[in-house]
Chains A and B, each alone.
Chain A
Amino acid sequence: MTHLLLRHRDIPDIRKLDVYVNNGGFAAFKKAVTGMQPGQVMDEVKASGLRGRGGAGFPTGMKWSFIPKGVFPTYVVANADESEPGTFKDREIMEGNPYQFLEGVAIACYAIQSNTGYVYLRGEFYQLARELDACLEEMEKAGYLGENLFGTNYSLRIRTHLGAGAYICGEETALLESIEGKRGQPRIRPPFPAVYGLYGKPTVINNVETLTNVPLIIEKGAAWYKSMGTEKSPGVKIFSLSGNITRPGNYELPLGTTFRELIFTHGGGIPDGHQVKAIMPAGASSSIILVNGETFDKVMDTLMDYESVQNVGSLLGSASVIVIDDTYSMDWVINKTMHFFKHESCGKCTPCRDGTYWMLHLVERIHAGHGTNADVQLLRSVANQVNGKCLCALGDFSTMAVTSAIERFPQDFESGAKA
């Protein structure tokens, strides 16, 4: 299949502006600005059924339509904070095919009549931010950014903003705080960013991969886009495959591809003759899917789309599929995820700040082989007290692996059974 998002795999030089333009680049942006009303652009994206690729799966066109009419300025912010353990797709898009992503930002800006877009990159993408800055300069020189674009009265500028190492800034309101020069801590909602966003103005925040789909939808139409994927989850998705797998990497496939196809056909299966024991389809924030002789076929035949993954007790999220083989014990796995969430909790909400601290202590004790059954019960109880009690989803995410591991892999938590 020809790639639609990871186009650099077919056209290696597409990260150069002239090559991108020669392959149809910026035709969609020009078409939107010169031939479509902002509302038409929004309707087309709505009709395509495109859903947010950052993890929540919220319909993109609908998100745009929440921006109130007649309020200026408005902002579009691209979320390039990619930090979920197991996710490395946005980085490849921006490194390999940056202009298609930036064209998506530009079209989103036009759709909500914004004259300023920001790209928020995690601080570790320092080199990448410089490369995007160079791309933005090229676009300005070539007349794709600046004043009176394509002879209309529409003007647009896009800027990068570099974070400095904080997972929480992938949460959209924390991200906005960070651009405003504050600590990245989530805001209370409502009001939602569509009404009160960056600098208190209506703001659309979309993931990099989501925006990279947009030029294709405007160019080829919603009907074409809907012909891929499933009815409720149309289009293509980049699956980041990692862990105990022969060929880890990003795979661009239609939504609704089965776990079997991803893991065995594309990923080449599990190395060294081991078996799959568990899958985390949404990175460290996943409920862990149990794979054993009994569940194997059901799990492997599950379609990876926003609805079906729930049938095996998890969520698709950002589609960062971590495969874990039968040499690992789940107490080790949640020890890893708890270290992550304890480190990344922003400290604003007590259940998350203190809960991740206590969960980590319990998990470490259990993992070290000093735990008792009461510790396991206490761990589950703390997780339940964190879940649903915080301003943002980080608190909830920190409990997903813990509760699912205890429930689905009880043998890994019996004392003395440590790997």
Chain B
Amino acid sequence: MSLAEKYPREIEAIYAKYPPDRKRSAVMPLLYLVQRDEGYITKDSMAEIAALLDLEMTEVASIIGFYSLYHDKKEGKYRMQVCNDLPCALRGADQFLDSLCQNLGIKVGETTPDGLITLEAVTCLAACDKAPMFQLQESDQLAYHENMTMDKTMELIDALKKGGLGESFRDARNMEVK
């Protein structure tokens, strides 16, 4: 089934955000919609988005290539993206990432053999005071996990193995008020 048949109302809501003659603006939200639907962006859905917005397929592909949160390959079910930029590194992010690699038995950029987790090192996520931290990406879902220890992280990974986080994806964010 095509995207337009599957999500007519969501697509209309996306179009409504922008002026009627500026449909191209919908390309980023539509890519998120596809990624949510399929986990990553396939050639077929690229072609469909291009057709919907009167773009060339290569224009859609250039957006996917430019922005780091779009993925055109199937990788781990979850992407665990650890920030090891300067402020986080000053609070031990490099050591955290090293031991995470050891515990998972993979290198940065690799996926665990069970296909559950792809581990990545990423640039600043605006959580510098709560390092070590990472974000967990599942299709279009994102959640921050802050002030992490290796124990807390391995517990989280166990929960992911047992069938996901469900609503706790939302609750994981550290909302403490000082």
Contacts A167-B123, A240-B129 given; does A337 touch B86 at CB 8 Å: yes
* Docked CA distance A241–B129 (Å): 7
The residue among A127, A165, A181, A183 with the most chain B CB atoms within 10 A of its own CB is A181
B63 and A182 contacting across the interface, CB-CB below 8 Å: yes
Contacts A91-B126, A124-B142 given; does A322 touch B63 at CB 8 Å: no
Residues of A within 8 A of B124 (CB): 83-87, 167, 284, 340
- Binary contact readout A42-83 vs B (1 if CB under 8 angstroms, 0 otherwise): 000000000000000000000000000000000000000011
Q: Which residue of A lies closest to B170 (CB)?
A: A127
How many interface residues does chain B have, given as a range?
Answer: 35 or more
Q: Does B68 contact A (CB under 8 A)?
A: yes
Residues of A within 8 A of B177 (CB): 8-9, 12, 96
Q: Does A371 contact B (CB under 8 A)?
A: no
Q: Does B26 contact A (CB under 8 A)?
A: yes
Q: Which residue of B lies closest to A333 (CB)?
A: B86
Contacts A85-B123, A126-B141 given; does A180 touch B86 at CB 8 Å: no
Q: Does B29 contact A (CB under 8 A)?
A: yes
A181 and B128 contacting across the interface, CB-CB below 8 Å: no
* Docked CA distance A337–B41 (Å): 31
Q: Does B150 contact A (CB under 8 A)?
A: no
B28 and A164 contacting across the interface, CB-CB below 8 Å: yes
> Quick check: which of B16-24, B108-116, B157-165 contacts chain A, the rest being far away?
B16-24
Q: Does B11 contact A (CB under 8 A)?
A: no
> Quick check: which of A106-114, A155-163, A358-366 contacts chain B, the rest being far away?
A155-163
- Binary contact readout A83-127 vs B (1 if CB under 8 angstroms, 0 otherwise): 111111011000110000000000000000000000000111111
- Binary contact readout B138-178 vs A (1 if CB under 8 angstroms, 0 otherwise): 00111110000000000000000000000000100101011
A250 and B26 contacting across the interface, CB-CB below 8 Å: no
The residue among B26, B69, B173 with the most chain A CB atoms within 10 A of its own CB is B69
Residues of A within 8 A of B85 (CB): 85, 284, 336, 340
Residues of B within 8 A of A167 (CB): 123-124
**Residue from B86, B129, B144 in contact with A85 in the complex, judged by beta carbons closer than 8 Å:** B86
**Residue from B70, B127, B140, B175 in contact with A126 in the complex, judged by beta carbons closer than 8 Å:** B140
A165 and B68 contacting across the interface, CB-CB below 8 Å: yes
B123 and A181 contacting across the interface, CB-CB below 8 Å: no
Residues of B within 8 A of A344 (CB): 123
A199 and B27 contacting across the interface, CB-CB below 8 Å: no
> Quick check: which of B2-10, B87-95, B96-104 contacts chain A, the rest being far away?
B87-95
Residues of A within 8 A of B127 (CB): 88, 91
A178 and B28 contacting across the interface, CB-CB below 8 Å: yes
Q: Does A179 contact B (CB under 8 A)?
A: yes
- Binary contact readout B42-65 vs A (1 if CB under 8 angstroms, 0 otherwise): 000000000001000000001100
Q: Chain A at the B interface: mostly helix, strand, loop or mixed?
A: mixed
Chain A residues 173-202 with CB under 8 Å of chain B are 178-184, 199
B126 and A83 contacting across the interface, CB-CB below 8 Å: yes
Chain A residues 5-54 with CB under 8 Å of chain B are 8-9, 12
Contacts A91-B126, A166-B68, A199-B19 given; does A183 touch B62 at CB 8 Å: yes
* Docked CA distance A249–B131 (Å): 11
Q: Does B135 contact A (CB under 8 A)?
A: yes
Residues of A within 8 A of B90 (CB): 242-244, 322-324, 328
**Residue from A86, A159, A164, A166 in contact with B86 in the complex, judged by beta carbons closer than 8 Å:** A86
**Residue from B63, B129, B143 in contact with A248 in the complex, judged by beta carbons closer than 8 Å:** B129
Residues of B within 8 A of A389 (CB): none
Q: Does A343 contact B (CB under 8 A)?
A: yes
Min distance, Cβ B129 to any Cβ of chain A, angstroms: 4
Q: Which residue of A lies closest to B121 (CB)?
A: A339
A164 and B87 contacting across the interface, CB-CB below 8 Å: no
* Docked CA distance A343–B68 (Å): 10
Residues of A within 8 A of B31 (CB): 164
Min distance, Cβ B12 to any Cβ of chain A, angstroms: 14
B70 and A250 contacting across the interface, CB-CB below 8 Å: no
B86 and A340 contacting across the interface, CB-CB below 8 Å: yes
**Residue from A8, A86, A123, A166 in contact with B128 in the complex, judged by beta carbons closer than 8 Å:** A86
A249 and B69 contacting across the interface, CB-CB below 8 Å: no
Residues of A within 8 A of B143 (CB): 127
* Docked CA distance A122–B67 (Å): 11
A88 and B63 contacting across the interface, CB-CB below 8 Å: no
**Residue from B22, B126, B140 in contact with A88 in the complex, judged by beta carbons closer than 8 Å:** B126
Q: Does B125 contact A (CB under 8 A)?
A: yes
Q: Which residue of A lies closest to B128 (CB)?
A: A242
* Docked CA distance A344–B67 (Å): 10
A181 and B129 contacting across the interface, CB-CB below 8 Å: no
Residues of A within 8 A of B125 (CB): 124
Q: Which residue of A lies closest to B135 (CB)?
A: A124
B129 and A343 contacting across the interface, CB-CB below 8 Å: no
* Docked CA distance A94–B20 (Å): 29
Residues of A within 8 A of B144 (CB): 124, 127
| 7 tightest A-B CB contacts, nearest first | A164-B67, A165-B68, A248-B129, A181-B24, A242-B128, A85-B124, A165-B69
- 9 A–B contact pairs at CB < 8 A? A9-B178, A87-B128, A123-B69, A124-B142, A179-B25, A181-B53, A248-B129, A322-B87, A343-B123
The chain B residues found within 8 Å of chain A, CB to CB, are 17-19, 22, 24-29, 31-32, 53, 62-63, 66-70, 85-87, 89-91, 123-131, 135, 140-144, 170, 173, 175, 177-178
